[in-house]
Structures are given as C-alpha cells and as structure tokens.
A and B are shown apart, each in its own frame.
Chain A
Amino acid sequence: MLSNTDWLAIVNCMEISLKAETLFHVGSLPVTNSVLTTWVVMILLVLIGLLARRVRLIPRGVQNVVEMVVVSLYDLIKPIINNDKVTRRIFPLLGVLFVFILISNWAGLLPGVGSIGVRELHEGKEILVPLFRAPTSDLNTTFALAVISVVVTTVLGVAIIGPVSYTKKFIRLTSPIDFFIGIFEMISELSRLLSYSFRLFGNIFAGEVMISVITFLIPWVIPAPLYAFELFVGFIQAFVFVVLTALFISLAIVDHDAHPHDQVEAELQPSTN
C-alpha cells in the first residue's frame, strides 16, 4: 500500500497546468505550446487539402476519405439548417470547424504531446514545460472558436432576415412580457459564448487530467479503454460544436414575426411531394 508521503510525491509529480505555457516570444507576442500544436494541426489540414485537390470523377486514395467526411457532414447539417442556400454558403466554415476541432482534440492523445518538453525553473521549482499541448485544452483556442461561431450566427441572421427584424428578436416593445423575453434572448445569446468555450475546454482538459491521474495510479491496461473513451469524447465534442452552431444558425435565420399565417397554412396543407 502507498503511504502518505508516497501519495504526496505522486500528487507533486503531476504537473497539471490550467493555462498553456509560453515557449518563446515572436516580437512581443508570446507563443505557447498550444499555439505551436495549432500550427502543426493547421499544416496537417492544409496538406490533406492539397492532397485532395486533384478531384477525379472516380475517387482514389485520399479523395475517398475526404469525400466520405464531406458528404456525411453535409447530409447531417442540411436538415438542421433547413435552407439549402444558407447551408451551401456556410458549409465550408462548419466543415473546417469540425475537422479542426476533431484533429485538435485527438492531437492531445498522441504519445509525446504533453510529455516531451524542457525542464525549467519556475518559482523555485523545476517543472516540465511540454513542447506540445492539445489546442482545445487551452481556453483561448476554444473561446476564439466560440466567438467565430456566435459572430457568424449573428452576421448570417442579419444578412438573411435583415437588421430590423433581427434586432426585433431582442428588443421588443409590444408588451412587458415580450420585453423580458427579448432580454432573456439576449442573455442566452451571450451565455452561448461561455457554454461553447467551457464545454469544449472542460471536456478535453478533463479527459487529459483523468488519463494522467489514472496512469499514475494504475499504469497497466486500465488507461487503454480510457484512451478509447477519449477518442469518442473528442469526436462527440467536435460533432456537438458543429451541430449546435448549425442549430443556432437555423434559429437565427427564421423571422418569427414575418408571416405566421403562411407558415401555419403550409404546415396544415398536405405536402405535395
């Protein structure tokens, strides 16, 4: 059995750091290990994109994989947005978001990510500064992604239903109840920033902490299924980020006040196709 001092040694060994460590500076800009990994992921994605550039009618090699990913994503997003023109316009962004988040989540599971690094003296203690860190286990990355998602949703809403009717969703002066509903809409729009970023960050970071803790306690066999679970979680989080973005876009591009009667009648009539 482990004694008390052993436990303390184990706990002190685990270097869990909430924020990404700065590796070097470019000018006055600090470059952290998660930014470095982001660059690696971006280079990888660009390479895959270049490989799949020569599109053939009969797919071969990489094109098969790329086509499978693109088509299944498109089929998933199309019924959610429910508007072919908008889907076609926004799909490139959503697709890249999915692939980028997926690769970023899985990057943290590669051997060497988080374990290869340089030892540095920091506040009197020698700590390991890893060279790589999963981009999505840094709150900055996930917050940037959340900002992109929310801004795109708002811009699309304004572009499709017009600035006046989009503002009417949030500022309603018809009755006191409507006024408060508008305020709640506004709050939920802003809290989306937090929920997007914390969901992604929390899931991926929690996974990494869990794996490192389990590896310290039981180094054999047990971490393997956890790795499989983290692969699944990484996929689900990328999927959920894109599906939620599509869902909120579909809500933003519908004008509730425009023609309520037409909609009801269209629903009442039996479909013609």
Chain B
Amino acid sequence: MDAEAAKLIGMALAMGLGAIGPGIGIGLIGAKALEAIGRNPDVENSIRTNMLLAIVFSEIMGILAFVVALIIKFV
C-alpha cells in the first residue's frame, strides 16, 4: 500500500467514524425535543431554540472530523 492509498483510507475513516457520534447525538436530541413538545406544545419555541443549540454542540464533533479529513486529504 503506498502513501496515497493510506491517505485516502485515513480520510474516509476519519470522516466515517467521526460521523457516528454526532449522528447518534443529534438523533437523541431531536427525539427528546419532540417528546418534550408532545408533552407541552405551548413552549415549542423555546424548546426549538434550545434544541438547535444542543444540536450545534453535538455537531461540532462531526465538523471537526470533517476538517481533519480535509487536512489529511489536502495538506
């Protein structure tokens, strides 16, 4: 295996493995937020805002994996 192939595999691994965690996390956040809205539809607006914030915190891991993958590929 030459260096270029190892680089490509590394990039794919970084992105693929890095997407697992945020995927699960965002799913859980969405599920809980929907449950909360189902229980108390009146506070939907504030739940939606907080849900977006939590999603963003979870998403940063995926974004970091993406950046690392790009660095492996292009730098």
Contacts and interface: CB of A to CB of B under 8 A. Distances in A.
Nearest to A203: B63
B52 A240 contact: yes
A198 B53 contact: no
Contacts of A18: 70-71, 74-75
Interface in B20-71: 49, 52-53, 56, 59-60, 63-64, 66-67, 70-71
Main secondary structure of the interface of A (DSSP, over half): helix
Contacts of B52: 236, 239-240
Given A198-B64, A202-B66, A240 B56 contact: yes
A243 B46 CA distance: 13
B2 to A, nearest CB: 16
A243 B49 CA distance: 10
Interface residues of B, number: 14
A115 interface: no
A198 B52 CA distance: 17
A205 B63 CA distance: 10
Contacts of B70: 18, 205
A98 interface: no
Given A202-B67, A240-B52, A195 B74 contact: no
Contacts of A119: none
A199 interface: yes
Main secondary structure of the interface of B (DSSP, over half): helix
Contacts of A202: 63-64, 66-67
B60 A199 contact: yes
Contact of B63 (A206, A236, A243, A244): A206
B53 A195 contact: no
A19 to B, nearest CB: 9
Nearest to A236: B52
Contacts of B75: 18
A201 interface: yes
Most buried by A among B66, B74, B75: B66
Most buried by B among A195, A202, A205, A239: A202
Interface string A173-212: 0000000000000000000000100110111011000000
B66 A206 contact: yes
Contacts of B59: 199, 203
A198 B67 contact: yes
B66 A243 contact: no
Contacts of B67: 198, 201-202
Contacts of A203: 59, 63
- 3 closest A-B pairs by beta carbon, nearest first, are A202-B63, A18-B74, A240-B56
24 contacts: A16-B74, A17-B74, A18-B75, A195-B60, A198-B60, A198-B63, A198-B67, A199-B56, A199-B60, A199-B63, A201-B67, A202-B63, A202-B64, A202-B66, A202-B67, A203-B63, A206-B63, A236-B52, A236-B56, A239-B52, A240-B53, A240-B56, A244-B56, A247-B53
Given A198-B63, A199-B59, A199-B63, 8 more contacts: A17-B74, A18-B75, A202-B67, A203-B59, A239-B52, A243-B49, A243-B53, A244-B56
Interface of A: 16-18, 195, 198-199, 201-203, 205-206, 236, 239-240, 243-244, 247
